[in-house]
């Protein structure tokens, strides 16, 4: 009976820490949730450390890493004087609760997943255990989401800058065509940056699905198909026809228009190629789901 008492106390301690962690997550307090999560991992259970993979703890760790900075940013804006002090606690809670993770935090989460992949590789001895086959889709899906969030955030920032410049340029007589061209050039730079990141994701996935067990994973094939469709959409450049029709260009600008049309033609071709790749990936995913190699 005496030998069971320490074990019961450890289980009670683990239960309390788990409750505290989930409560902090519900309140959006990711800083304290991270501390509780770390204490859980350091807790001994039957003379062994708690398994990170059990009860979804590995996913909670990534969530904390991703959302902690978003919460801190909101709190700094509240108490740092950058927003009005009239915001009540309920409004502040909803802002924290609805805050998306910060894309700048993704490298931390990616490094976390990379370590999990190395620490828990796939094993034929225990094929049903949580291993790299579970971590790779989570990491890649998060990578895709972080890139899309960064893309949308950049577009919103560009739109805000454009509105500000419209107000200032209305006084100095800047033409609407010049403003439109500036906006399109900025959007084009954002598109190219997102396309480059999407190609990095695709290259990582292509390397991964070359051999088993990853080549037999239907989830990875579905993700690869969606990435191809995404790359196809990003391959098509911004349409500058509107700006071109309103402005008279010199020889250099005329050459730029020719190059832009060429880019659009290549974009159409690239989109078709990526669509074909996506179709193949989806077919292979269906074959894996049905048990056919």
Residue 150 has pLDDT above 70, yes or no: yes
pLDDT for 159-210, tens place per residue? 888 777 665 655 555 566 666 677 778 888 999 999 999 999 999 999 999 9
Whole-number Cα distances in Å, 108 to 71, 112, 115, 227: 16, 6, 11, 22
32-46, 75-89, 122-136, 203-217: least confidently modelled range: 75-89
84 pLDDT band, cuts 50/70/90, is very low
Burial string for 20-31 (b: 16+ CB within 10 Å, else e) reads: bbeebbeebbbe
Region 70-79 average pLDDT: 55
pLDDT averaged over every residue in the chain? 80
Q: For residue 151, what pLDDT is reported?
A: 93
Residue 48 has pLDDT above 80, yes or no: no
Residue 11 has pLDDT above 50, yes or no: yes
pLDDT for 89-132, tens place per residue? 444 444 444 455 666 788 889 999 999 999 999 988 988 899 99
Q: For residue 143, what pLDDT is reported?
A: 94
Which among 18, 2, 28, 152 has a CA at the least distance from the CA of 91?
28
Measure the CA–CA gap between 240 and 261, rounded to whole angstroms.
9
Region 16-32 average pLDDT: 90
Measure the CA–CA gap between 154 and 227, rounded to whole angstroms.
20
């Amino acid at each position: 009976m005496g030998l069971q008492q320490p074990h019961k106390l450890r289980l009670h301690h683990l239960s309390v820490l788990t409750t505290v962690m989930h409560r902090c997550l519900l309140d959006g307090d990711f800083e304290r949730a991270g501390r509780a999560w770390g204490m859980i991992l350091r807790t001994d259970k039957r003379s062994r450390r708690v398994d990170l993979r059990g009860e979804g703890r590995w996913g909670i760790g990534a969530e904390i890493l991703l959302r902690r900075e978003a919460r801190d940013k909101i709190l700094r804006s509240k108490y740092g004087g950058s927003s009005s002090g009239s915001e009540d606690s309920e409004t502040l809670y909803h802002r924290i609760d609805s805050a998306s993770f910060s894309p700048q935090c993704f490298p931390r989460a990616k490094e976390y997943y990379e370590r999990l992949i190395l620490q828990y590789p796939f094993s034929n001895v225990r094929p049903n255990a949580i291993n790299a086959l579970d971590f790779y889709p989570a990491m890649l899906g998060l990578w895709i989401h972080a890139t899309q969030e960064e893309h949308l955030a950049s577009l919103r920032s560009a739109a805000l800058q454009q509105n500000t410049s419209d107000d200032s340029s209305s006084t100095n007589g800047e033409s609407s065509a010049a403003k439109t061209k500036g906006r399109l050039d900025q959007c084009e730079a954002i598109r190219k940056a997102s396309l480059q990141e999407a190609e990095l994701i695709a290259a990582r996935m292509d390397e991964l699905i070359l051999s088993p067990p990853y080549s037999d994973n239907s989830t990875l094939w579905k993700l690869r198909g969606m990435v191809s469709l995404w790359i196809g959409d990003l391959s098509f450049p911004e349409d500058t026809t509107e700006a071109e029709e309103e402005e008279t260009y010199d020889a250099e600008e005329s050459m730029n228009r020719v190059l832009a049309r060429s880019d659009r033609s290549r974009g159409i071709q690239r989109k078709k190629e990526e669509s074909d790749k996506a179709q193949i990936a989806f077919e292979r995913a269906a074959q894996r789901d049905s048990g056919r190699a």
